[in-house]
Each structure stands twice: as structure tokens, then as C-alpha cells.
């Protein structure tokens, strides 16, 4: 019994040390704020207010990464959107579909849930948006669009050293269409969700990979 206790103690100590090193050197834990209605709509359907997520401390950015960036319009706050294009790319947004240098981001299949209802804080009404799964970079994620009332088309060429971010909710967005192109040094990669905003016992949002 005493030997077994020692083994468990040593294993726990080693695991704890590894977690501490990873936390101090590579990762941080952050809770998605619950007091920003526009952010809450823009991060659907990937994240939700109150989600506890793991983010990298480094600022390396790759295509398709979901990023948390310092809000350029509100010091002390953050925006969350996906890295879609970098310097030199030409981005076209038509019918809320992203095209980069003439190539449409793949939409291989529909989401398990074909539509998602999102509250629009601008109109104070719920809207029903279509959901499709995209694969871009090394990421697979869901994106929302309005089929009946899409946002106006936009065309942008990305400046040197900048990234163009797009919300997973392409219709009720908080992204580079609103605050401009971003410097990657202001951003960290969201990689994992520990617990969903609805609590630990929601198995659909607990321990889920984001990227």
C-alpha cells in the first residue's frame, strides 16, 4: 500500500511539473467574456461566452488558426476571429463566402446542425443562419452565413506584415471588416476548450480541440 502511494505521488508530481512548465512557457488559460453581445454572436458556432480555453503565449500564426487578439478599438479587451489571409493575398467576400487569390475556401460538407439561431445585438432579434464546415490550412471548423440577407461584398489586398481575420459567424461579425488588418504580434492561437460556458457536465463542449 505504501509503495503504491509513493508511485501515485511521484506520477502526480511529474504530471504537475509538466503542466506547470507548459503553462508558464507555452500556454495560458482564458475565459471568453460574457459581457460583449457582439463578440458572443461573432464567435458562434465555435465558441460561446463563458468557455474556458487554452491559448498559446507565442504569436506564431498560420492560415485557419482561430486567434484571440487585442481589440484595436477597445484597449484592455479582445476580439476572436480566424486568420484567413496574410500579406500579399487578395481577399474577396461575396455572399459571405471567402475567396483568396481567386480560390474559394473549401466547404466540403454541411454541419451536423444545418442552421444555427444567433441573437443579433444590433437589431435585438434572433436570426437563423446556415452552417457549413470548412477546411482551411490545418483546421476544420464551422462557419455561419445568411442566405437571404448576406453582408455587402468586399475586396481587400493584405498589407505587408498584416493578417486579415474573419469571424466564424460571417454575418454578425467582429473581424477585419470592422477593425482592419491585424499585426500577428497582437494575437494568440486558441487551441483547446477545457470547459464550456454551460459547465463541466456539458460533454459536447468539454475537452474539445478548437484548431
Q: Domain containing 43 — which CATH number?
A: 2.10.109.10
pLDDT (0 to 100) of residue 1: 54
Grid coordinates standing for 2? 505504501
> For residue 143, how many other CB atoms are within 10 A of its CB?
27
pLDDT (0 to 100) of residue 58: 80
Tell whether 101 is covered by a domain. yes
Tell whether 22 is covered by a domain. no
pTM of the model: 0.85
Number of domains into which the chain is organized: 1
Closest Cα partner for 164 from 95, 105, 77? 105
pLDDT (0 to 100) of residue 62: 92
Tell whether 1 is covered by a domain. no
Tell whether 139 is covered by a domain. yes
Hey, which bits of the chain come out as E strands?
27-31, 52-56, 66-70, 78-86, 90-94, 97-100, 103-104, 109-120, 125-136, 139-145, 154-157, 162-166, 182-183, 187-195, 208-209
Tell whether 10 is covered by a domain. no
Low-confidence ranges of the chain (pLDDT < 70): 1-26
For residue 148, CA distances in Å to 90, 98, 106, 121 come to 26, 17, 21, 19
Tell whether 18 is covered by a domain. no
pLDDT (0 to 100) of residue 26: 65
Range of the domain at 139: 32-209
Tell whether 3 is covered by a domain. no
d(CA 57, CA 69): 12
Q: Is the dihedral of CA 73, 74, 76, 81 positive or negative?
A: negative
Tell whether 127 is covered by a domain. yes
Q: No. of H helices and E strands in the chain?
A: 3, 15
Amino acid at each position: 500500500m505504501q509503495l503504491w502511494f509513493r508511485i501515485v505521488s511521484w506520477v502526480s508530481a511529474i504530471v504537475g511539473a509538466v503542466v506547470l512548465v507548459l503553462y508558464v512557457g507555452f500556454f495560458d488559460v482564458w475565459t471568453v467574456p460574457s459581457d460583449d453581445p457582439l463578440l458572443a454572436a461573432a464567435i458562434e458556432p465555435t465558441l460561446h461566452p463563458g468557455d474556458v480555453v487554452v491559448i498559446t503565449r507565442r504569436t506564431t500564426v498560420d492560415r485557419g488558426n482561430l486567434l484571440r487578439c487585442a481589440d484595436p478599438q477597445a484597449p484592455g479587451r479582445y476580439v476572436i476571429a480566424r486568420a484567413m489571409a496574410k500579406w500579399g493575398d487578395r481577399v474577396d467576400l461575396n455572399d459571405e463566402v471567402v475567396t483568396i487569390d481567386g480560390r474559394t475556401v473549401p466547404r466540403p460538407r454541411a454541419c451536423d446542425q444545418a442552421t444555427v439561431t444567433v441573437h443579433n445585438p444590433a437589431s435585438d432579434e434572433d436570426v437563423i443562419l446556415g452552417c457549413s464546415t470548412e477546411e482551411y490550412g490545418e483546421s476544420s471548423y464551422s462557419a455561419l452565413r445568411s442566405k437571404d440577407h448576406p453582408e455587402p461584398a468586399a475586396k481587400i489586398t493584405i498589407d505587408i506584415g498584416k493578417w486579415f481575420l474573419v469571424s466564424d459567424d460571417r454575418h454578425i461579425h467582429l473581424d477585419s471588416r470592422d477593425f482592419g488588418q491585424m499585426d500577428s504580434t497582437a494575437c494568440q492561437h486558441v487551441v483547446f476548450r477545457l470547459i464550456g460556458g454551460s459547465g463541466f457536465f456539458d460533454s459536447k463542449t468539454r475537452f474539445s480541440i478548437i484548431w
